Amino acid sequence: MGLLREIYRKKELYLYLLPAFIIILIFGYYPAVIAFYYAFTDWDGNIANFIGFRNFVNLFVNDRIFISSIYNMVILLIAGMITGLIPPLLGAELLFNMKNKKLSNIYRFLFIIPMLIPSVVIMLVWQNLVFEPNVGLLNSILSALGFEKIGWLGDYHTALYSLILIGFPWVSGVNFLIYMAGLQNVPESVYDSAKLDGATGIKRFIYIDLPLLLGQIKLLVILGLIGGIQGFGLQYILTNGGPANSTMVPGYWMYRNAFGYGNFGYASAIGLLMFGVILILTIINTRIGKANEVNY
């Protein structure tokens, strides 16, 4: 009753929010609920027959491509966590501690500029200027050193690791800004006390900055998990999941089953599994973050 009374008391505010809630329900929650149902059917775009857990059994028993896509996803997730957490943190630390603030602002601007470039453009630049088999940068360097050229995106053994290389030196503008915001939010008194205790340089980074940036790290881990499990832009644009499914990931396999083969029920089962994995990992990450939370 107390909740209903509170809603009635602020009914004008809730009425203003009602259109947004309706849009979210229609375009957000409704498709998710429908996909949950279709995951247990053989829906091909026409009739959806309930088949229980058959889609999930097929995924782990008969679908070798899905199993290999999980392996590829784990490799990309580990690499993504390393490249998404460490280089931006080091970049933020270096700029935050620069004495010359004007130069620091210039570097900060240069780190942010790539955010303005569409990710598709960046992928195509790497494909045509760096990985191109004949005149690409990497093969030109190999030829100059007397080594054989490599089909970076076309070779079964190198395609997956070539995708990891994209974005080098991996200083993501978004992650960089999140770290910078965290560092700027630390009270100056904390650094003054640390200086009096002799905690400068590496010691300050390990014992002051890192513990106080756990909130930002937790956020970036969650975003990295969601993006790493769901994303398939690199595969869609550069490799089509090949060669020989060596770069296939669950997200792209879901897309291929839905819009390539018309197996919408099977694709919904893959999506439901991905949602479950993301939910579990997010809960674990949140609990670990709360256990190690540091206040100042």
- Domain residues for the domain of 97 are 64-291
- For 41, list phi and psi in degrees, rounded to 5: -130, 175
Contacts of 60-67 with C-beta under 8 Å, sequence gap 24+, read: 65/245, 65/248, 65/253, 66/250, 66/253, 66/270
Q: What is the pLDDT of residue 146?
A: 87
Asked if residue 264 belongs to a domain, the reply is: yes
Asked if residue 6 belongs to a domain, the reply is: no
Over pLDDT 90: what percentage of the chain?
51
Nearest of 233, 235, 115 to residue 171 by alpha carbon: 115
pLDDT tens profile 45-87 = 888 899 999 999 999 999 999 999 999 999 999 999 999 999 9
Asked if residue 31 belongs to a domain, the reply is: no
* Average pLDDT of span 194-198: 75
Does residue 267 have a pLDDT over 90? Answer: yes
- For 50, list phi and psi in degrees, rounded to 5: -70, 125
Please state whether 132 falls in left (phi above 0), alpha (psi between -120 and 50) or beta.
beta
Q: What is the pLDDT of residue 289?
A: 63
> What is the Cβ-side half-sphere exposure of residue 74, based on CA atoms within 13 angstroms?
7
- Across 125-150, b (16+ Cβ under 10 Å) vs e yields ebbeebbbeeebebbeeeeeeeeeeb
Asked if residue 21 belongs to a domain, the reply is: no
Query: Which DSSP letter does residue 115 get?
Result: G
**Residue 134 belongs to a domain with what CATH number?**
1.10.3720.10
Over pLDDT 70: what percentage of the chain?
95
Asked if residue 3 belongs to a domain, the reply is: no
Asked if residue 164 belongs to a domain, the reply is: yes
Tokens representing residue 135 in the block? 């005149």
* Average pLDDT of span 169-193: 86
Query: Which DSSP letter does residue 258 get?
Result: I
Q: Can you tell me the distance from the alpha carbon of 237 to that of 248, in angstroms, rounded to the nearest whole number?
A: 12
* Average pLDDT of span 272-291: 84
Under a CB-based contact definition with an 8 Å cutoff, are residues 220 and 172 in contact? Answer: no
pLDDT tens profile 222-251 = 999 999 999 999 999 999 998 999 999 999
Q: Can you tell me the distance from the alpha carbon of 103 to that of 43, in angstroms, rounded to the nearest whole number?
A: 59
Asked if residue 33 belongs to a domain, the reply is: no
Confidence band of 292 (pLDDT split at 50, 70, 90): low
Q: What is the pLDDT of residue 171?
A: 85
pTM for the whole thing? 0.86
Asked if residue 148 belongs to a domain, the reply is: yes
Domains contained in the chain, number: 1
